[in-house]
Amino acid sequence: MSDLSAEDKKLVTLARATRARIGAAEGAAVRDTDGRTYAAASVALPSLGLTAVQAVVAMAVASGSTGVEACVVLGESGALADQDAAVLGDFAGADGVAVHVGDPRGQVAGQHRI
């Protein structure tokens, strides 16, 4: 995690804590184009299923955000799902989205630009 900026390290901390708090499969955090941060965990209900990225982007949209510039996703897969890449692409800021993917402990192993 040492090569991440201080702002991105904050996203790692938020995603990790949010996932751990409820024992969810994934945690995600984003920073919007105004610098506000949001964190969410995956949702697995009988009538509703959301990835952590879907949930956190929905929170940002519902809060009036106009775009996302950075995202951290932490989960067992250690990969960015295609559906999550699509959601981030739909809501990317003007310069795209820097995406950091890691394991549940917060060890970031991959980085993408969408």
DSSP string, 39-85: EEE-EEETTEEE-HHHHHHHHHHHTT---EEEEEEEETT-S--HHHH
- The verdict on residue 1 lying in a domain is no
- The verdict on residue 21 lying in a domain is yes
- The verdict on residue 49 lying in a domain is yes
pLDDT digit string, tens, across residues 73-98? 999 998 999 999 999 999 998 999 99
**Domain interval for residue 101:** 6-113
We report the CATH number of the domain holding residue 16 as: 3.40.140.10
- The verdict on residue 44 lying in a domain is yes
- The verdict on residue 20 lying in a domain is yes
pLDDT digit string, tens, across residues 18-52? 999 999 999 999 999 999 999 999 999 999 999 99
| pTM for this prediction | 0.95
Per the structure, how many domains does the chain have?
A: 1
